[in-house]
A and B are shown apart, each in its own frame.
Chain A
Amino acid sequence: MNSLGYLLAALTPYHVALALGGVVAGTVVGSLPGLTATMAVAVLIPVTFSMEPASALILMGAIYTGAIYGGAYAAILLNTPGTPSAIATTFDGFPMAKRGDGDLAITLACIASVCGGLVGAVFLLSLAPPLANVALAFGPVEYFWLAILGLTLISALSQGNLLKGLIGACFGLLLSCIGVAEISADVRLTFGSQTLLGGIEVVSALIGLYCVPVLIDLVATPDRHLKVEEASRGFRLREALNISWRSKFNLARSSVIGTLVGILPGAGGSIAGLVAYSEARRSSKQQERFGGGAPEGVQATESANNATVGGGFIPTLVLGIPGTPPDAVILGALLIQGVRTGPNLFTEHGSIVYVFIWGLLLATVLMLPTGLLIGRYAYRSIVTVPKAMLVPTVAFMTLIGTYSIRNSVSDVVIMTILGVLGWVLGRFGFSASPIVLGLILGSIAEQGFVQGWIIGAAADNLWGQFFGRPISLGIFAFILLSLFSPLLLNRLRVKREFARAD
């Protein structure tokens, strides 16, 4: 069968229905904080037993991609990342919504997600086998440096008060150490409590640190949640398309970053979004707008995190190594069906792989109309619902969502405590993002460092292990750039002003 044949096989009414239903269901699931793409896909596994492998993949891929996009709603409208992938969406999405541009932000997020999803899927379609090697080129040390690169973002996030940002990040790093350590199996910082054995679950921490303070503020202040414009302005699609066209380079760069980070099994949508965000900020001429409602911030994150869907499938299908947590579930479902992944899958089982990839492309395209419609509905309901109803509903959802992540009551307790703590810290000028960054990146950095150290020590070459590998050096260069470029830029500006004064 040629590629046209595969495309036609993906366009059967049955597959179109699966893609449509999957995207809609995924978007709804992703928009609810706590319900992640991984869970949505896992729930579906028994359903896929009776399906053809390609159809099962299309359904699971559509849900997955929809859920990653759906995470943007709560991020923009409630300052709560619906999924970890949407963390960086809150940075500019929520300020946009605050000033009354929530509808625009959602439409921009939808366009960016479709762009990112398409780029990721096209890479999957055209370059999967060679790109899969990227997954293998990343060793422990590279993950360590990547996590450090992510941590440098703190300097950008804590405008004006670097010290508070660093304190927050250190607190987050400490939080990441709680529980049974992933590598050494040591029990750390549990203070004898069995509740803390399982560690701080990232998604419940996200919900607590981001959402609870918003809820408390809603109750504590008489203002409306978001500013509302009187006249209905539709989707503001034309405006959004114009903005998107102007930032096409940002979209393209972020999508490529998302695809590449998606390929890395040890890093997921959250890191992709963060790296794309910081790159967008770094290369922007108006850096100071970021964090205060810059559309480019939303576009960068949303295109990058949807690109991880296609990117993550590359090592999953080529190497049998899941690129992201939902991919691990999908890989399991394929194994149960008796489908072996590997390079042969592309040559011998093209009817599965290529039909699926076309199906994923189809689902991504379908995300544009469905995403706009569901987004419009989500925006309307959040904006128009009276506060007295909004607060209890959202509070209830956060509790249910947190519980459902690991079916754990202790996670709900931890979420609530972190939430109140986050609100108090917020009063003192500590923002949530550095804490979350520390929590997510801490364990990645720690694992990479310890593994890299053990391997380097065994080879009697610690220095070479950390500073002698090309990819490591590349990331290290970016770290230096990210750390010192503000200083250098400031110097230049000061010099120029001096020159002008003379």
Chain B
Amino acid sequence: MFTSKKRGIFTALAAALALTASVASAEYPEKPISYVIPFGPGGESDITARHQQAFFKKKFGQDLVISYKPGGGGAVGWSQLNDMPGDGYNIMGINLPHIIVKPLQKDVGFKTDELALIYMFHYTPDAVVVSDDSPFKTLQDVIDHAKSNPGKITFSGSGKGTANHLAQVTFDKLAGVKTTYVAFKGTGASVTALLGNQVTGQWGYTSVGAKHADKVRLLAVAMEQRHPRFPDVPTFKELGFDIVSGAYRGIAVPNSTPENVREKLSSMIGQINADPAFKQKMENDGFALVDVDYKGMKAFMDEKRQAYVAAAKEAGVIK
């Protein structure tokens, strides 16, 4: 009994070793990798993954096969991630603040810490967007108007408890103003409301400015430095508000994935990020690259968690 159990453990160990050895020795990846996006097709999570897809094939000779598992604002996909085989051929897109805020709201089938994050490759910085014919030329104009008309300024944005919403709450607090946030289903619908003058402005993203360059104006972007695509738009920091935020996107693997595969994948995604042509394409679409690899993930997540949780409490989306 004892020996058989011992033998069992031994075989399992040997098998695990053999598996890791085979993964390490054969040129990984040796077959296409399945890349699940927990949102529907056509959104920014999809588009940025599609950007990676072309470069992945070129650099590593294998296809990234993108599929979608939408539902519950990403929760359906993330709650199933750890049930997938951890062989290095299953990866999933992850989004901040979603994976931090959602599990704190209710039991959504996964916990933030259960997700094995291996890389954050970009973010879409939050931005205050107004239409071209808006009377507001600067962020100060908005603040002045909001101060004398509390609650009258309406901002469209994508969803509640999202990057847009948390940025609005943080900004209102820092600037000492009261504005009204109107949640729409996704950035597309929120831009439509802006362009149709249904709302005063939008808490959107730099990517909105890139996509609708001829019809909208960015008043401020939530970045450390100005976005290369919009050299004339100030950052919130320059204007005295400490807001650096947006929708971060990265990649996670099932938590049964061996360490060496996680590191390998992490460095592969890093190599794509380092390609100047990739950077150029992403920045042209208004995205901003970040490089948080597997090793730096914990520190990054700890910092972001603090900021997002504080803002989410302020916004009343978590208790």
Which of these, B36, B75, B195, contacts A197 with CB under 8 Å? B75
The reply on A100 being an interface residue by CB < 8 A is: no
Q: Which of B46, B162, B284 has the most CB of A within 10 A?
A: B46
Given A139-B196, A199-B72, A458-B154, verify A42-B160 contact (CB < 8 Å): no
Whether the pair A135, B192 counts as a contact (CB closer than 8 A) is yes
Given A185-B159, A407-B68, verify A458-B180 contact (CB < 8 Å): yes
Residues in chain B near residue A180, CB distance under 8 A: 72-73, 75, 108
Residues in chain A near residue B42, CB distance under 8 A: 42, 322, 325, 327-332
The reply on B7 being an interface residue by CB < 8 A is: no
What residue of chain B has the Cβ atom nearest to residue A335's Cβ? Answer: B47
Which of these, A41, A332, A338, A341, contacts B50 with CB under 8 Å? A332
Residues in chain A near residue B6, CB distance under 8 A: none
Whether the pair A185, B105 counts as a contact (CB closer than 8 A) is yes
Residues in chain B near residue A49, CB distance under 8 A: 54
Task: Give the CA-CA distance A290 to B236 in the complex, in Å.
Answer: 60
Scoring B residues 54 to 78 as 1 if CB is less than 8 Å from chain A, else 0, what string do you get? 1000000001001111111101100
What residue of chain A has the Cβ atom nearest to residue B181's Cβ? Answer: A454
Interface size classification for chain A: 35 or more
Scoring A residues 168 to 203 as 1 if CB is less than 8 Å from chain B, else 0, what string do you get? 000000000001101111010000101001110100
Task: Give the CA-CA distance A289 to B192 in the complex, in Å.
Answer: 40
Whether the pair A336, B152 counts as a contact (CB closer than 8 A) is no
Task: Give the CA-CA distance A342 to B195 in the complex, in Å.
Answer: 13
Task: Give the CA-CA distance A499 to B102 in the complex, in Å.
Answer: 68
Scoring B residues 277 to 299 as 1 if CB is less than 8 Å from chain A, else 0, what string do you get? 00001001100000000000000
The reply on A441 being an interface residue by CB < 8 A is: no
Residues in chain B near residue A329, CB distance under 8 A: 41-42, 46
Interface residues of B in 40-54 (CB under 8 A from A): 40-43, 46-47, 50-51, 53-54
Interface residues of B in 148-177 (CB under 8 A from A): 151-154, 159-162
Q: Considering only CB atoms and an 8 Å cut-off, how many residues of chain B contact the other chain? A: 60
Whether the pair B160, A201 counts as a contact (CB closer than 8 A) is no
What residue of chain A has the Cβ atom nearest to residue B155's Cβ? Answer: A458
Task: Give the CA-CA distance A162 to B189 in the complex, in Å.
Answer: 35
Whether the pair A408, B214 counts as a contact (CB closer than 8 A) is no
Residues in chain B near residue A197, CB distance under 8 A: 71-72, 75-76, 79, 108-109
What residue of chain B has the Cβ atom nearest to residue A315's Cβ? Answer: B192
Task: Give the CA-CA distance A340 to B105 in the complex, in Å.
Answer: 38
What residue of chain A has the Cβ atom nearest to residue B46's Cβ? Answer: A332
Task: Give the CA-CA distance A459 to B66 in the complex, in Å.
Answer: 44
Interface residues of A in 325-359 (CB under 8 A from B): 325, 327-333, 335-336, 338, 340-344
Which of these, A46, A194, A327, contacts B109 with CB under 8 Å? A194
Whether the pair A455, B154 counts as a contact (CB closer than 8 A) is yes
Which of these, B53, B151, B196, B317, contacts A46 with CB under 8 Å? B53
Given A194-B109, A332-B42, A455-B182, verify A179-B317 contact (CB < 8 Å): no
The reply on B199 being an interface residue by CB < 8 A is: yes
Whether the pair A406, B182 counts as a contact (CB closer than 8 A) is no
Interface residues of A in 126-183 (CB under 8 A from B): 135-140, 179-180, 182-183
Whether the pair B182, A454 counts as a contact (CB closer than 8 A) is yes
Task: Give the CA-CA distance A180 to B213 in the complex, in Å.
Answer: 33
Interface residues of A in 27-42 (CB under 8 A from B): 38-39, 41-42
Residues in chain B near residue A340, CB distance under 8 A: 211, 213
The reply on A266 being an interface residue by CB < 8 A is: yes
Residues in chain A near residue B51, CB distance under 8 A: 336
| 19 interchain pairs, CB-CB under 8 A | A38-B40, A135-B192, A139-B198, A180-B73, A184-B183, A187-B105, A194-B75, A197-B75, A201-B71, A265-B192, A266-B189, A266-B192, A319-B212, A329-B46, A341-B211, A342-B214, A406-B71, A408-B69, A451-B193
Question: Assuming A194-B79, A194-B109, A319-B192, what are 18 further A-B pairs, CB within 8 angstroms?
Answer: A42-B42, A46-B63, A138-B196, A179-B71, A179-B72, A185-B105, A197-B75, A198-B75, A319-B212, A319-B215, A322-B42, A322-B188, A328-B43, A406-B68, A406-B70, A406-B71, A407-B69, A451-B184
Which of B's residues lie within 8 Å of A, judged by CB? 36, 40-43, 46-47, 50-51, 53-54, 63, 66-73, 75-76, 79, 105-109, 151-154, 159-162, 180, 182-185, 188-189, 191-193, 195-199, 211-215, 281, 284-285, 317
Which of A's residues lie within 8 Å of B, judged by CB? 38-39, 41-42, 45-46, 49, 135-140, 179-180, 182-185, 187, 192, 194, 197-199, 201, 265-266, 319-322, 325, 327-333, 335-336, 338, 340-344, 406-408, 447, 451, 454-455, 457-459
